[in-house]
Structure 1
C-alpha cells in the first residue's frame, strides 16, 4: 500500500460516507459530497467497507470508488 498513498493523505481520513434507508450511499470528501452510489453497486461497496481491516483500507476503498476527480490543481 506504500506505493498507493505516497504522501500519506489517507491518514487524514478525508473521505466519509453516509447510507440512507433506501440503500443509497453518499460519499463525502472533506465534508463535500462527491459521489452517490445506489443499487447493487452500493451493496458491493458496503460489503467491501465491512471487510476493511483498518481505517486506511476503508479510505482507499472510498478513494477508488470516487474515481479520478483530484488533479492536484484544485483550490482549497
Structure 2
C-alpha cells in the first residue's frame, strides 16, 4: 500500500476545502473542520485528508473479497 498523495487543503472562512489532484473532494465545516485543523499540525496531512475524503485504502480489500461471506 502506497502513501496517499495529491491532496491539498485551503481554509475558506470557517470551512476547510480539500482537493485531490485539483478537484474538490470534500468540504469540512463546523466541528469537523476544527478537528481537522487541530490534527493537521501533529499528523501526516496527506493521510488525514485521504481519511477525511474517504479515499483511503486499508490494504485488506483482497482478503475481504475472498471471505466466504462475500463470495458470489
TM-score, normalization by structure 1: 0.66
Structure 1: give runs of 5+ residues left out of the alignment.
1-5, 71-76
Change (3 A) 1:32 1:38: same
Displacement of 1:50 in angstroms is: 1.5
Give CA-to-partner distance per residue, 1:16-75, whole Å, 9 cap, x none: 000012x100000001001000001100000010112xxxx21001000101488xxxxx
How many correspondences in the alignment?
Answer: 57
Dislocated runs of 4+, deviation >6 Å: none
Structure 2: give runs of 5+ residues left out of the alignment.
58-72
What does 1:3-42 correspond to in 2, within 5 Å? 6-8=1-3, 10=4, 13-21=5-13, 23-42=14-33
Please give the root-mean-square deviation of Cα atoms over the aligned residues, in Å.
Answer: 1.9
